Amino acid sequence: MNETSRVYLDNAASTPVDPAVIEAMMPFMVDHFGNPSSLHGSGRKASVAISKARSQVAKLINANPNEIYFTSGGTESNNLALVGYAKMVKRHRPDCNKILISEIEHESILETVSFLEKDLKFNINFIRTTSDGFIDLNSFGNLLSPETCLVSVMLVNNEIGTIQPVQSMINIIKKRQYKTIFHSDGVQALGKIPIDVRQMKLDMLSISSHKINGPKGIGALYIRKGISVEPILYGGGQEMSMRSGTENVYSIVGFGKACEIWKNRLQEANLNIKKLQDYTINRIINEIPESKINGSLQNRVVNNVNFSFKGINGEDLLVKLDEFGIEVSTGSACSSNKKKKESHVLRSLGLPHDEIAGSIRLSLGYQNTKTEMDFAINVLKNVINEFRNLNWSESSQGSDIVTSVP
Ligand SMILES: Cc1ncc(COP(=O)(O)O)c(C=O)c1O
């Protein structure tokens, strides 16, 4: 590692675009720029490219291509799934007004259900979380009732990487023979765990391109055939009338290519990332005193490492690591611009305030190496040592809070 190199460990926030994805996208910016709704040759080329990408995306999750609707990303997919389904329920099943979500969902679910509660008068219930970061199935079973029209629980949590017992939840709904629809935010699961929407009997699944080495601003919602969802964007009727607006052709092509790549490398790549994850977790536990891993080590995706360090402020740590070229995150990237907002995920696990404030997330990617991890862990160790020494000397002068970077 030299002084100018950067170690990017924020792959749960976004990933570098794969060179093969860029190569696939380029012709649709330079040559085949036609509008896919146009009937001439350029338009038809763009339209054919979208169909190919739809099949590539469908393949990665074992869906039918006509069950894939392209959107602008995970946030829009979550909005379309929840608002689109809720609008349909209001019109056709007004007796079902209960929606269940977990306490550890992404903001794009939390803010959407808040809208549904305030403006469409739905009754929102939150499923409790266990201290190791999973949905409490007893809490779910107690909350689920015939009035529940929709359950939305993420497949993988973005902050602590825990893989949620979505399959068990779907089985409970089926066993009770309720007409409840199950949506899952699969943004952090795509490319990390095998997803088979058919086998799982998922009704809707949100996915996003930029978490799997594809371009930003593009994603998709899987809607199982037979499930009625109303659009939330109106216009020219693109995306089978589900999402109007001229398609983002080159990004759709890039997303398709990224899905094809990850379909082929999921198993092998994730074995390598898992080795790096184990190595990192073991070194931190063994070499940094008073460090605590957040979330279970079992049923955790291979790229997530989330630790709390006693006496340390996570934001100060992030800034200092950045000075050394190491890029990490505290909580989720999307909420990190809301200054001083405490992680609702770690709070839901019951962590005390100081452990929440002292947490950072390292999220590994396909491109990371052992050399990079060694560099990052060594710097992390030294910085934490320095902070603790400073904290110690400050507290001996009457202060117990780290407020400045040494
Ligand atoms: C779990 C989860 N859901 C949704 C999103 C939003 O996805 P996008 O950035 O594509 O809007 C994210 C992004 O961080 C996420 O981690």
Task: Tell me the per-residue pLDDT of 213-254, one tens digit each, with 9 for 90 and over.
Answer: 999 999 999 999 999 999 999 999 999 999 999 999 999 999
Of the listed ranges 147-151, 279-283, 300-304, 395-399, the least confidently predicted one is 395-399
Residue owning the nearest CA to atom 14 of ligand 1 = 13
Residue 398 pLDDT class (50, 70, 90 cuts): very low
**What pLDDT is stored for residue 122 in this prediction?**
98
Q: What is the pLDDT of residue 5?
A: 81
CA of 74 to the centre of ligand 1 (A): 5
- CA proximity to 307, closest of 401, 404, 376: 376
Who lines ligand 1 at CB under 6 A?
Answer: 73-75, 106, 108, 154, 158, 185, 187-188, 208, 219, 332-334
Mutate to test the pocket of ligand 1, among 72, 76, 80, 108 (most ligand atoms within 8 A of CB): 108
Quote the ligand 1 centre to 226 CA distance (angstroms). Answer: 26
- 8 Å CB contact between 282 and 310: no
In sequence order, which residues have a C-beta less than 8 Å from that of residue 166 and are 6 or more positions away? Answer: 153, 155, 182, 184, 200, 202
Question: From ligand 1's centre to the CA of 114, what distance in Å?
Answer: 17
Q: How many residues comprise the chain?
A: 406
Mean pLDDT of 164-184: 97
Read off the pLDDT of each residue in 347-369 and give the average, rounded to a whole number.
96
What is the band of 395 on the pLDDT scale with cuts at 50, 70, 90?
A: low
What pLDDT score was predicted for residue 170? 98
Nearest atom in ligand 1 to the alpha carbon of residue 216 is 10
CA of 393 to the centre of ligand 1 (A): 41
pLDDT bin (cut points 50, 70, 90) of residue 287 is very high
Q: What percent of the chain has pLDDT over 70?
A: 93
Average pLDDT over residues 307-322: 96
Contact 306, 9 (CB under 8 A): no
> Measured in Å, how far apart are the chain's first and last C-alpha atoms?
23
Average pLDDT for residues 19-23, to the nearest whole number? Answer: 98
Distance 332 CA to ligand 1 centre (A): 9
Q: Which of 113, 187, 190 to mutate to test the pocket of ligand 1 (most atoms within 8 A of CB)?
A: 187
Q: Where are the domains of the chain?
A: 7-15+266-395, 19-262
With a cut of 80, say whether residue 35 has pLDDT above it: yes
Q: What is the CATH number of domain 19-262?
A: 3.40.640.10
Residue 270 CA to ligand 1 center (angstroms) comes to 20
Give the Cα separation of 219 and 21 in Å (integer).
15
Residues 31-43 have a mean pLDDT of 96
Q: How far is CA 63 from CA 32, 114, 127, 135, 184, in A?
A: 28, 30, 28, 26, 14
Q: Whose CA is nearest to atom 13 of ligand 1?
A: 13
Residue type, 305: V
Question: Which residue reads 């994603």 in tokens?
Answer: 219
Q: Which CATH superfamily is domain 7-15+266-395 in?
A: Aspartate Aminotransferase, domain 1 (3.90.1150.10)
Q: Whose CA is nearest to atom 8 of ligand 1?
A: 74
In terms of Cα–Cα distance, which of 206, 356, 382 is closest to 288? 382
Mean pLDDT, the chain, whole residue set = 93
What was the pLDDT predicted at 228? 97
User: Would you state the pLDDT for residue 2?
Assistant: 65
pLDDT given at position 13: 97
Structure confidence at residue 243 (pLDDT): 98
Catalytic residue among 96, 149, 259, 334: 334
Give residue 31's pLDDT.
Answer: 93
Question: With contact defined as beta carbons under 8 Å apart, do 213 and 193 qualify?
Answer: no
334 part of the active site: yes
Q: Which ligand 1 atom is the nearest neighbour of the CA of 78?
A: 4
List, in order, residues 6 or more apart from 45 with CB less than 8 Å away.
Answer: 32, 34
Q: Which of 14, 334, 345, 363 to mutate to test the pocket of ligand 1 (most atoms within 8 A of CB)?
A: 334
Per residue in 74-89, pLDDT tens? 999 999 999 999 999 9
> 231-238 — which CB contacts under 8 Å span 24+ positions?
231/80, 231/84, 232/79, 232/80, 232/83, 232/84, 232/87, 236/37, 238/36, 238/37
Q: How many helices (H) does the chain have, and how many strands (E)? A: 13, 12
Q: What is the pLDDT of residue 390?
A: 86
Q: Which atom of ligand 1 is nearest to the CA of 334?
A: 14
pLDDT at residue 404 is higher than 70: no
Residue 258 · residue 21 · CB < 8 Å: yes
Enumerate residues 6+ apart whose C-beta is below 8 A from 186. Answer: 61, 154, 155, 156, 195, 205, 206, 207
